[in-house]
Structure 1
Amino acid sequence: MINKKLVALAAATMVVSTLFVGCGGSKTEDASTEGTSTENATVKTVEIPGEEDTTIVELTLENGTPVAVNIDTKNADGSMKSEASASGAYDMKNDGKKWHEQIDLLEEAIVENNFDLSKINITDEAGHTDAVSGVSIKVKGYVDAVQEALDRVK
């Protein structure tokens, strides 16, 4: 299987904008924002501290338009959830896909729907969706973080 991160990095015309969006607790207006612009791109970094962890949304932009997304969680101890999931250190104790595999499916659905997040239908108050086959994790916080990232790169 080809590593999607390597494919995204290999595209020479793409510019990566990394946005750090916290899960709960802090308000957007309290976030620090840094940005740089070039003729072809805007790179903006936003960090909003969460109570326990930080959701990281990395958008790949081509001519100012998002073309790829990478979602991860930085835990309070500094570890990354995707790495812990891939290594088996983070086990959701289910028979389905691991966390990193489910977040990959969510990312693919977001890109396939051209970043129209309304197509990632949230089905319950817990934040689950039935719009992405194979995904049983709560996605509302991740979808909200992607929306925040999109709002900040406009």
Structure 2
Amino acid sequence: MKKASVILSSALVLGTLLAGCGNNNNNTNNAAATATTAPAAEATTAPAANAGTETAKYADGTYYGTVDADPETGWQTFALLTVEGGKITAADWDGFNVKNAGDLKKKVSADGKYGLVAKGGAQAEWHEQAAKAEAFLVEKQDPAAITVDTEGHTDAVSGVSVHVNDFVAAAQAALAAGPVEAGPYKDGGYHAEGAEFDANNGFKSTVDLSIVNGNIVAAKFSGVNAAGDDKKQYSVDGKYGMKAGGASAEWHEEIALAEKYFLDNKGAAPKMDAEGKTDAISGVSINVGEYFTLAEKALEGAK
């Protein structure tokens, strides 16, 4: 009986040990499953955290984007971004004026003609503040990092009190559009004018052009008289009086069509007759030949 009891006890102990080993194997398998899942999750999320430094975020090239022009001032914001090695290495926040053409906003500011400090009491001129926002974008690599309030201002960039929402929108539009090719001209504002005042109307013809990323983006065909009046504004104010003389449109309305043709055709001139008139631009009956000649002269300085 004692021998039988010993055998039975040994069997029970052995069964218990085997059951324990079975439970340990299950726990080991579960732990192994957890271990193989966790690194997979880490491998998925880690690159995203380092995307700005380890992974090329953008295709190399030049990016260009704009927003709508301000209807009152005529200034149209643009962003010109350079990407090298997948990163934004340079940012240019500037603007051109669709009403007056000519010099870009940074130069107008640098020349003291924008007057942000003198006229608006700002802490720094516009071009100086723009440079800070540009540097911030290059550092952060994402326009969205420049957070703006409902009025378009930001607290993210120290020393910047001007509206930055247009810069953010233009930079985002540029990156969304992808790399673009530059045009054949040097960026900036260009001017040309006639040699003398017209004996009939008293105005000397003038042309002003704005070029961004090598392309003509704004053109103003106008004129100036001895009193310094701008011909386009003179017409807008009803002082030129073409309609009163029987024309179907005022001078500023017709010259605007010539400007549009010039921009749409990248500076190319239409076929003209001996008087400088053309049938190629619908709605234009005035002499526009001199303006296309002056525009060509202005572009000589941009080559």
TM, length-normalised to structure 1: 0.70
**SS of residue matched to 2:281:** coil
Q: CA offsets per residue over residues 2-27 of structure 1, 9 Å max, x none?
A: 989868622234457739xxxxxxxx
CA distance in 1, matches of 2:255, 2:71: 13
Q: 1:110 aligns with which of 262, 272, 275?
A: 262
Which residue number in structure 2 is paired with residue 18 of structure 1? Answer: 102
CA distance in 2, matches of 1:82, 1:144: 18
Contact 1:8 1:68 in 2 (8 A): no
Which residue number in structure 1 is paired with residue 294 of structure 2? Answer: 145
Would you tell me which structure has more strand in proportion to its own residues?
Answer: 1
**SS of residue matched to 1:88:** coil
Q: 2:253 aligns with which of 98, 101, 108?
A: 101
- 2:281 is the alignment partner of 1:132: yes
Which residue number in structure 1 is paired with residue 75 of structure 2? Answer: 9
User: Displacement of 1:146 after TM fit?
Assistant: 0.8
Would you tell me which structure has more helix in proportion to its own residues?
Answer: 2
Aligned length: 130
Cα RMSD (Å) of the superposition? 3.0
One-letter code aligned to 1:11: T
User: Displacement of 1:67 after TM fit?
Assistant: 2.1
The 1:3–1:9 alpha-carbon spacing in structure 2 relative to 1, beyond 3 Å, is closer
Structure 1 residues not aligned, in runs of 5+: 20-40
The 1:139–1:48 alpha-carbon spacing in structure 2 relative to 1, beyond 3 Å, is closer
User: Displacement of 1:100 after TM fit?
Assistant: 0.3
Structure 2 residues not aligned, in runs of 5+: 1-67, 80-94, 104-185, 198-202
Contact 2:194 2:206 in 1 (8 A): no
Instruction: Give the percent of matched residue pairs that are identical in Structure 1 and Structure 2.
Output: 29
TM, length-normalised to structure 2: 0.38
